[in-house]
Amino acid sequence: EVQLLESGGGLVQPGGSLRLSCAASGFIFSSSVMSWVRQAPGKGLEWVSTISGTSGSTDYADSVKGRFTISRDTSKNMLYLQMNSLRAEDTAIYYCAKGRFYALDAFDIWGQGTMATVSS
């Protein structure tokens, strides 16, 4: 079964850090484009970051550039999002998502999400 399972969310103070993880199974992780998408409370979906399957090139939304780092460990089928210098506006459910086939493609598999709350 194709599956994504996020973990690592929690409560952190402004300026703090969190590392989110996403365990992938049921598909060829090493060649898949993987992304993080978030949803703030009461808001819509917002793309956060993407990492390519082959070159490992990365891309970020302006709102997180310089603070968040996406990475992957293909030996463990794991995707990560290191979040530093967190702000209240980063409070959201964070979903990991798999690109369908190509470098530019829709997200065909999503995890259930993990909640990150930034508050003092």
Q: Which stretch binds another protein (CB under 8 A): 8-16, 66-74, 78-86, 107-115?
A: 107-115
Q: Which stretch binds another protein (CB under 8 A): 7-15, 21-29, 75-83, 95-103?
A: 95-103
105 lines the binding site for another protein (CB under 8 A): yes
Q: Which is nearer to another protein, 53 or 113 (CB)?
A: 113
108 lines the binding site for another protein (CB under 8 A): yes
CA distance 81 to 68: 7
Structure tokens at 2: 């194709």
What order do you get walking across the sheet with 68-73 strand by strand?
Answer: 3-7, 18-25, 78-83, 68-73
Q: Which residue has the tokens 């997200």?
A: 107
Beta carbons of 113 and 7 less than 8 angstroms apart: no
Q: Which of 62, 66, 75, 120 binds another protein (CB under 8 A)?
A: 62
Q: Which of 23, 47, 78, 84 binds another protein (CB under 8 A)?
A: 47
Q: Which of 12, 18, 20, 50 binds another protein (CB under 8 A)?
A: 50
CA distance 57 to 52: 5
> Within the chain, what is the greatest distance between any pair of CA atoms?
41
Residue ranges that bind another protein, judged by CB under 8 A: 35, 37, 44-47, 50, 59, 61-62, 95, 97, 100, 104-108, 110-113
